[in-house]
A and B are shown apart, each in its own frame.
Chain A
Amino acid sequence: MNIESYDAAFERTKTKKEGAFIPFVVAGDPDFETSLQIVKVFVENGADALEIGFPFSDPVADGPTVQLADIRALESGMTAEKGFEFIRRIREFTDIPVGVLTYYNLIYKMGLEKFYKMARENGANAILAADLPPEEACEALEAAQKNGVQQIFMAAQTTSNERLQEITKMCSGFLYVVAVMGTTGARAELKTTTVDLIKRIKSHSDIPISVGFGISKPKHVREVINAGADGAIVASAILNIITENLENKEEMLQKVGKFCAELKEATKS
């Protein structure tokens, strides 16, 4: 299969005068097959790229919603190896970019060489470890480059311009912009500072940027895309639908699909 690159995906959406819609799910939440169906629903409802979480027992960057999803996925037996199998299965029905979002201990424990090799072999485009800042990323970058996998980093409001330059030098695929001062989780309103941050980054670098953390409504998606972001990442708001509909999978998938269609629509204005 010919996997689409992030560059190509952002090019594709840009020509259509849209932003990229990037939904997130934890592999194995609530179980392997259901989460695979959720990803299918993402794709059917306009996802331009995918973020797949590999669950960790101690996710410090995550709020209660993702923590709960991680616990459900761990209870269903998810591991990094099974996560890559999950991505291989995703590759049976889509070639849009797939990024893995995890914590560094999963990578370290498997061994960097093996982790990045598995990423490439199973069709992942990029890896992002939430607790791996550029200072500690030397070895990971080496393994990523060797295996032709992209390494994504984060930037936040607290990130200085100086640091931003360092980060964008190392980062490939896209820059993950953290919209809030805080952990992941649905928010009622988007901060005006997020818009400023997007503009600040855009004035420093032309790397594509996707905004995540707290993006939970079509309105938020519209706001970040209008501010100049290339993509919008939606996690907790989707996971909340999963959490609320664990007893009825049909309804869960239907609601996730409807919500995703609305989010995708919001990237078009």
Chain B
Amino acid sequence: MISDGKFGKYGGIYVPELLIPALEELEKAFLKYKDDKEFNAELEYYLREFAGRPTPLYYAENLSEKLGCKIYLKREDLLHTGAHKINNTLGQGLLAKYMGKERLIAETGAGQHGIATATVASLFKMPADIYMGSVDVARQKLNVFRMEISGAKVIPVESGAKTLKDAMNEAMRDWITNVENTHYLLGSTAGPHPYPTMVKHFQTVIGKETKKDILEKEGELPDAVIACVGGGSNSLGIFSEFIDDKEVELVGAEGGGDGLEGKHGATLSAGTEGVLHGSLSFVLQDDYGQISEAHSISAGLDYPGVGPEHSYLKVTGRAKYGPITDEEAFRAFKMLSKYEGIIPALESSHAVAMAEKYAKENPGKTIVVNLSGRGDKDVNIIADFMGVKL
């Protein structure tokens, strides 16, 4: 490896020996193409013409008035396939193509990353196998169907808690078996090096556009940038451009589930250090190092790990993280739908709820919220939550 992939002490390459050459090959290709003119021109082309970039930074008038702050929404929900995940799958899909890989595999929780992978597999004419916990297959039927229509194979995972973490184990096992022709298109800033760095790189487009737009609209930097944190990709994508601007507060909203005393997915708020899926980071685990099952109303935040760079931002104090409960996310979902006519993904609803809290404590400030995805996929869950039969 050229770099050790560490953020402070977090990160690294805690993987079986069989995968090391594949990670080395991937790191080498990433370092070669990330500054390659032709590669970047092609990626920009697809981001613009296929995915619909740039996305607006929308001044949410009604919400701003209600919350007594200036609230801007970074509209990643308007992207093709409905979430920021496509930024990363286009980047990695193209990289896989440049590397001469013939097959894509991915893990998915909510199905958003699975869909974004299936979409890119169609675009670049590669077969894709998507691992998805059988619990998630059952609660995200619509997305399973969408992946299958795009020609991907969805493989239900029956091991462990049958959710995202287990899907990731199974994708890694597939990769261990098929490293030679397969690219593992990991969906977040988690996993072994170079994934945390590479996925962040492909998501920084969010932060770059946001910074340019907010300076144009406000003439100054925002007071706070707020995003939800599952594995950490949409949040790092938008945080990254502001990390050096110390006056900008960076706030991450985690899946608080039933609250920190109950079941939750708030890894940074309530976890401890450990090694999961190839990196040292905060994890939810018991006293003996067995990984716990997470819970969140949002499948994308239902993960007992978190990307290592977030652990670093947490312990250095550069970013702050807090839990948002299922109930709070649900209320924020309804609030944004009602006040702005924008139905957010349940994941993104956590960021909206965090913005509401922040606004209460800091009236009059300018806040950017990363609206990582749209909520169409979640209306069934919301209806269930409300006791409405569709």
Contacts and interface: CB of A to CB of B under 8 A. Distances in A.
A133 B165 contact: no
Given A130-B16, A133-B17, A156-B17, A108 B176 contact: no
A58 B276 contact: yes
Interface of B, secondary structure class, is mixed
Interface stretch (B236-244, B288-296, B344-352): B288-296
Interface residues of B, number: 38
B127 interface: no
Contacts of A167: 17
A61 B21 contact: no
B168 to A, nearest CB: 8
A63 interface: yes
Interface stretch (B7-15, B147-155, B198-206, B374-382): B7-15
B13 A136 contact: yes
A133 B20 contact: yes
B290 to A, nearest CB: 4
Interface in B281-338: 283, 285, 287-291
B11 to A, nearest CB: 10
Nearest to A74: B290
B15 A131 contact: yes
Interface in B133-183: 159-160, 165-166, 169, 172-173, 176-180
A105 B285 contact: yes
A105 B20 CA distance: 19
Contacts of A240: none
A108 B275 contact: yes
Given A106-B288, A131-B278, A63 B173 contact: yes
A140 B332 CA distance: 46
A265 to B, nearest CB: 30
Contacts of B21: 158-160, 163
Contacts of B218: none
A135 B291 CA distance: 23
Contact of B288 (A79, A130, A131, A178): A79
Contact of A135 (B13, B172, B177, B288): B13
A215 B283 CA distance: 34
Q: Which 3 A-B pairs have the closest CB atoms?
A: A109-B289, A182-B177, A154-B17
5 contacts: A67-B159, A103-B275, A153-B17, A158-B179, A182-B176
Given A67-B159, A133-B20, 19 more contacts: A60-B16, A61-B173, A62-B173, A79-B288, A105-B276, A105-B283, A105-B289, A106-B288, A109-B287, A109-B288, A109-B289, A110-B289, A130-B16, A131-B15, A132-B14, A158-B17, A163-B20, A181-B179, A182-B18
